[in-house]
Amino acid sequence: MITGTGITKIFKQRGSVLGAREVPALRGVDFAVAKGGAVSFIGESGSGKTTLGRIVAGLETHDAGEIVIDGVPMSTLSHRRRQPYFRRIQLIHQDPYSALNPTRTIHQTLEAPLRLRARQAGRPRSWVDGRAAELLAMVGIDPGYVLPRYPHQLSGGMRQRVVIARALTMDPEVLVADEAVSMIDVSLRLGILALLKDLRERLGVGVLFITHDIATARYIGDDGELYVLYRGQVVERGATEKIISDPVHPYTQSLLSAIPVLHGLERPGAERVVPREMQREGEPDGGCLFARRCPFSTERCENEMPVLGRDGGPEQEAGQEGGQEYACFHPRRRSVIPVGVGE
């Protein structure tokens, strides 16, 4: 179990003589990944989703808030003491081509971390080879074929499976998958997503799934939770299927409306939402962060910042029943996603 409360990160832009400009990447994000759970963070570039993943994996510090792993607040530990905890959280990133050392065979790649595990657990050396084969079988590839090979001899899909197998050598509790399928061929993407789902069920590994493609979040498990991140703030969260079929925040609606319609198979949603403007850098922070682009914003939105769960408007009670929360003064359900032609 891993929880984050009020995770805040501020990047300081260099270059200015008169003092650095501060750019908030995360503005007090709360979340929890349970054992075997699936939590997806959705957002565009600059939303802070990658920064969040790196903080959770222990690769980045944060400026405020607390990460709690298995009941232990990380802020109470020294940097060295934290390492064993963060080892239980493994990061899988976007590019399986650069994530593997090209001069090592897959066998060598898996052997090093497994030796460390064997030493820690007092297991014999012979355990290492068996475990490597076992892990590769678990991620759905033939160990006999893959073990002696170098990364360049494998397809993108296979490499990503090897990366996942390597993460599993640490017996992680949580896998942080940052755009883990965006560089994989379309015909193979579902295979990787199904594998993540399978690992949740079989090993009880939690998955923190970070993506800009909302549709993929459905495929790591329909029991998952979805967080929509905009400029470092969670603007809507709830059950994945619920948020996708019944989005309330205009930003979530914009994201879902932007997903291409497969004409011939689908008809566009009746109330697709298009933002008024493109996102700009260095926008001011007063009021709702989405107000300037939002087609439904009012004067209140310009001046006041809505808080997740507290400012839900009249529909709030209904929304919270299903665990759905949003930060919007004017929430309204809209049908924005495509409908099957046959339906």
Partner 1 sequence: MTAHTAARHTAAPGVRIRDLTVVYKTPAGELPAVRGVDLALAPGTITGVVGESGSGKSTLALSLLNAVQPPGRIAAGSVEIDGLGDVLTLRGEDLRRTRGRQVGYVFQAAQNSLNPLKTIGKQLLDLGRSHDVEDLRGLVRDAKDLLARMGMDGARVLDSYQHELSGGMRQRVGIMLALVLNAKVVVLDEPTTALDMITQATILRIIREVHEERALTTLVITHDVGAVAEVADSLAVMYGGRVVEHGPVTEVLGSARHPYTQGLIRAIPRLSGDLSLARALPGRPPTLGTLPTQGCVFRERCERRMEVCETDEPMSVTQDGRTVACHAADRHLTLVKRKEEFV
Contacts with partner 1, residue ranges (CB under 8 A): 44-45, 155-158, 185-191, 193-194, 212-216, 218-219, 222, 244-245, 254-266, 274-275, 278-279, 281, 337-341
Contact by Cβ (8 Å): 293, 287 = no
Q: Which helix (H) or strand (E) holds 13?
A: strand 2-13
- When the beta carbons of 74 and 141 are compared against partner 1, the nearer one is 141
- When the beta carbons of 118 and 194 are compared against partner 1, the nearer one is 194
Contact by Cβ (8 Å): 321, 337 = no
Minimum CB distance to partner 1, residue 256 (Å): 7
Minimum CB distance to partner 1, residue 188 (Å): 5
- When the beta carbons of 144 and 340 are compared against partner 1, the nearer one is 340
What torsion do the CA atoms of 204, 210, 211, 215 make, to the nearest 10 degrees? 30
Cα 224 vs. chain centroid, distance in angstroms?
Answer: 12
Contact by Cβ (8 Å): 149, 105 = yes
- When the beta carbons of 83 and 245 are compared against partner 1, the nearer one is 245
- When the beta carbons of 125 and 276 are compared against partner 1, the nearer one is 276
Determine how many CB atoms are found less than 10 A away from the CB of residue 269: 18
Alpha carbons within 13 A on the beta-carbon side of 50: 8
Minimum CB distance to partner 1, residue 337 (Å): 4
Minimum CB distance to partner 1, residue 231 (Å): 13
Minimum CB distance to partner 1, residue 81 (Å): 39
- When the beta carbons of 111 and 246 are compared against partner 1, the nearer one is 246
- When the beta carbons of 37 and 221 are compared against partner 1, the nearer one is 221
Could you write out the three-class secondary structure of 93-105?
Answer: CCCCCCCCCCCCC
* Polymer length of the chain: 343
Cα 342 vs. chain centroid, distance in angstroms?
Answer: 32
Minimum CB distance to partner 1, residue 117 (Å): 30
SS3 for 230? strand
Q: What are phi and psi of 88, to 5 degrees?
A: -80, -5
- When the beta carbons of 126 and 187 are compared against partner 1, the nearer one is 187
Cα–Cα distance between 328 and 305 in angstroms, integer?
9
Cα–Cα distance between 69 and 92 in angstroms, integer?
19
Which residue's structure tokens are 């494998």? Answer: 154
Minimum CB distance to partner 1, residue 37 (Å): 18
b/e sequence 133-172, b meaning 16+ C-beta within 10 Å: bebbebbbbebeebbeeebeebebbbbbbbbbbbbbbeeb
Minimum CB distance to partner 1, residue 272 (Å): 9
- When the beta carbons of 222 and 302 are compared against partner 1, the nearer one is 222
Minimum CB distance to partner 1, residue 1 (Å): 26
CA angle 172, 175, 176 (to 5 degrees): 140
